[in-house]
Structure 1
Amino acid sequence: MTHRLIILANASLALAACQSAYPAEPQVGAASSAPAPAFIEAACGGCHAVEPPFLSPNPRAPDFEAIANRRGVTASTIKAWLRNAHNYPEIMDFDLTREHVDEVSDYMITLRRRDYVPVE
């Protein structure tokens, strides 16, 4: 019996040693239940739906959930796009600080879902 406990304890320690000390990329799963940060609501929410139920005030502006769930979209691709203001449609003519780029990207990536189905 003691021998089994020692084996189980060693196995648990071995598994714990495999854990990463670095934060993982946000997990794809259920949409974020956290509300959008105030900056995102203020800067983006006038055109884009930034929170559920994801109904954009501007029908031509995709909602954040739809953007986050596009094929190939990652935190890095969102950041790259947001850092290059020349990519923005004319109506989005503003600059974002590095901190705001990170804030928007980090929030958007929480909206990725395995079961996402695009609305047509």
Structure 2
Amino acid sequence: MIKAPLSALAAVALAASLSACQTYRSAPEAAASDPQPPAFVEAACGGCHAVQPPFLSPNPAAPSFEAIANREGLTEDTLGTWLADAHNYPEVMDFDLEPGHVEQIADYMVTLRREDYVPAE
């Protein structure tokens, strides 16, 4: 069995688990102060998920990191716990994340929370 990169699969599993709401912001709306993802997050997750503005996911079935981060009840702790447990992942995400990668993903994603976030319909 070919194993995908740890983060890319985690992002796909997270997306499937957390639902598929997507919000799109056009480039002009993306603020210059928007946080930038760590290189690991962009490389591992960006193949399927939109990890930074304008939040257009390469894979329409994969919600953007912004959509995931703005789910009601999601916290850095709940996200980290979910990412750390590979048994949560969909079959396509057959891998384990190292604790440092879990922390990088969770730390970055919570920076994407916005009070004015409105999920796409």
Q: Which has the higher contact order (CA 8 A, sep 6+)?
A: 2
- Per-residue CA deviation, residues 43-78 of structure 1 (Å, 9 max, x unaligned), is 111111100011111111111000000000000010
The equivalent residue for 1:68 is 69
Structure 2 residue runs without a partner (length 5+): 1-30
2:42 equivalent in structure 1? 41
The equivalent residue for 1:105 is 106
Cα deviation 1:82-113 (Å, max 9, x = unaligned)? 01111112222221110110110000000000
Amino acid in structure 2 at the alignment position of 1:103: Q
**AA matched with 1:70:** R
Write out the 4+ residue segments of structure 1 that deviate beyond 6 Å after TM superposition: none
Q: Which residue identity lines up with residue 86 of structure 2 in the other structure?
A: A
Q: Give secondary structure in 2 for the equivalent of 1:72.
A: coil
Q: Secondary structure at the match of 2:79?
A: helix
* TM-score (normalised: structure 1): 0.71
Distance (whole Å) between structure 1 residues aligned to residue 119 and residue 35 of structure 2: 21
Number of positions where the alignment pairs a residue of Structure 1 with one of Structure 2: 91
Equivalent-residue separation in structure 1 for 2:47 and 2:93 (angstroms)? 11
Q: Normalising by structure 2, what TM-score?
A: 0.71
Greater radius of gyration (CA): 1
Measured in 1, the distance between the counterparts of 2:116 and 2:60 equals: 23
SS for the counterpart of 2:92 is: helix
For 1:91, what is the secondary structure of its paired residue? Answer: coil
Which letter does structure 1 place at the counterpart of 2:36? P
Q: Over aligned residues, Cα RMSD in angstroms?
A: 1.6
Unaligned runs of 5+ in 1: 1-30
Cα shift at 1:34 = 2.4
